[in-house]
Amino acid sequence: MTGSLPWDATGQNRWDGTVRRHPRRGHRHHHPDTGRLLLQLLGAFADYERSLLRERVVAGVRRAQASGKHCGCPRKELDLRPALALLDEGRGLKDVARILKVPRATLRRRLDEAGRWPVGRQAA
């Protein structure tokens, strides 16, 4: 049985480039690098397939946007009056966002769109 294994009792690899057959099962033992090569090929094909999928998704989103469809999450309604009142009291943006239960970035973006960020700047 030791003649069919790719290593000897000392753990040394003894491949000489030939293909051996298992004495009882009859299947072939290939060089250990063959498995690595096959896995690398599978990885390359998977990467290529993923890039094709990404291209198709991006093309579909652009086509939908060109036809007037909105892609992404719906815009959250946000009344800025309570936020402006809290900011005028001297509270920070982080505190105001926590009190109103909205993300800080959303609050800042809406204030900026309304021309009220940084605080004190009036809408034109």
- Average pLDDT, rounded, for the chain: 82
The yes-or-no verdict on residue 19 having pLDDT over 50 is yes
- Count of CB atoms situated within 10 Å of the CB of 29: 15
Q: Compute the average pLDDT of residues 104-117.
A: 91
pTM of the model: 0.46
Using alpha carbons, list the distances in angstroms from residue 61 to 51, 68, 73, 75, 92.
Answer: 15, 11, 14, 18, 38
* The pLDDT of residue 81: 93
pLDDT in tens, 23-58: 666 666 667 788 889 999 999 999 999 999 999 999
pLDDT band at 2 (very low <50, low <70, confident <90, very high): very low
List the domain boundaries for the chain: 1-30, 31-72, 73-124
Which is more confidently placed, 81 or 29?
Answer: 81
The yes-or-no verdict on residue 84 having pLDDT over 90 is yes
Quickly tell me which residue has 């896995």 as its tokens: 39
Question: Which residue stretches of 23-120 are H helix?
Answer: 32-66, 80-88, 93-100, 104-113
Quickly tell me which residue has 């605080």 as its tokens: 119
Separation between Cα atoms, residue 24 and residue 68, nearest integer Å? 67
